[in-house]
Amino acid sequence: MNPVKKPVPAPYTLVFVAAAIVFMVLLAMDITGIGRTVFKAIPVATLLVLVITEMSGFSRICLAGALLGSVCGDVLLDMPSQNLFVLGLAAFLAGHLFYTVLFFRSAARPDDTEKLIIAGLIFLAGVLMWLFSDIAPELYGPVVAYIAVIVIMSIGALLVPAPDRLLFSGALIFIASDLVLAVNKFLIAIPAGRLINITLYFLAQYLIIAAARRIWPLPAARAIN
C-alpha cells in the first residue's frame, strides 16, 4: 500500500480554508444566525466528505465517526441556547472516542521519552480538572469526562507509529483549542478568545486528518493527486 501524495487534496483544502475564513469574519463581526452556523460546520464537513469518499476500512469508520461528532458539536455550540452546551460537549466527546479507538488500535509501546510525555499529559488533565472544579455542578461531570477523553486521545495519537509527530501535534492543538474555550467560558474572558479557539480547532482537525491519511492511506491508484 503506497502513501497518498497529497494527504488533503487542494480542492478540499480550498473549501476548508475559505469556509473557515468566512466563519471567522462573521464571528469577529459578531454576526449570528443560521448562515454563520453553516459556515462553521463546512470546514470539518469537508474533511468528512474526504474521509468517506477517499478512505476505506476501519480507519474510514472511525475518522468519519469522529468528524461527524465534531460537525454536530460545531452546530450545537454555535446555537444561542446555553442548554445545548452539554449536548455539544457530548457530540465532541463521541467524536474523540472514535479518534481514540483508531489511535489505540495502531498504538505501539511507549519509549522512555513518550512515557514522560504521557505523565505530563496525565498531570495536565489533573490540573484542568482542578482548575474547573468551581463551575456549576451539572457541568463539572461532563467537563471532567471530556478532559479525560481528549487527554487519552492525545496519548493514543502519541503512540501511533508515524514518520513525524503531525498526528500528535494535531491532538495537542485540539487540547489547546478546548482549553481556550473552557477558560474563556468559565474563568476569565480572553481577548479574541473565540477567534483563537476556532482557529486552533480548525487547524487541529486539518492536521489530524492530514496525518491520518498518511498513516492509513489508500492504494495510490485511488488517491486524488
For residue 217, pLDDT over 80 is answered with no
As a whole number of angstroms, the distance between CA 187 and CA 200 comes to: 19
Top-confidence residue, 96 or 136: 96
Q: Lowest-pLDDT range, 115-119, 125-129, 139-143? A: 139-143
Confidence of residue 6 (pLDDT cuts 50, 70, 90): low
Give yes or no for a contact between 127 and 151, defined as CB atoms under 8 angstroms apart. Answer: no
pTM of the model: 0.91
Return the amino acid letter for 163. Answer: P
**Residue extents of the structural domains in the chain:** 10-222
Q: What is the mean pLDDT of residues 2-17?
A: 81
- Classified as helix, coil or strand, 204 is helix
For residue 90, pLDDT over 60 is answered with yes
Q: What is the mean pLDDT of residues 12-32?
A: 96
The cell numbers describing 71, all together, are: 460537525
What integer pLDDT is reported at residue 222 of this predicted model? 40
**pLDDT tens, position by position, 147-196:** 999 999 999 999 999 878 999 999 999 999 999 998 988 888 888 999 99
Q: If you write DSSP's letter for every residue of the chain in order, what string do you get?
A: -PPPS-SS-HHHHHHHHHHHHHHHHHHHTT--SHHHHHHHHHHHHHHHHHHHHH--HHHHHHHHHHHHHHHHHHHHHHSS-GGGHHHHHHHHHHHHHHHHHHHHHT-----HHHHHHHHHHHHHHHHHHHHTTTS-HHHHHHHHHHHHHHHHHHHHHHHS--SSSHHHHHHHHHHHHHHHHHIIIII-PPTTHHHHHHHHHHHHHHHHHHHHHHHSPPPGGGS--
Residues recorded for the chain: 225
As a whole number of angstroms, the distance between CA 102 and CA 192 comes to: 34
Return the amino acid letter for 82. Answer: Q
Top-confidence residue, 5 or 104: 104
Which residue carries 486539518 as its cell? 206
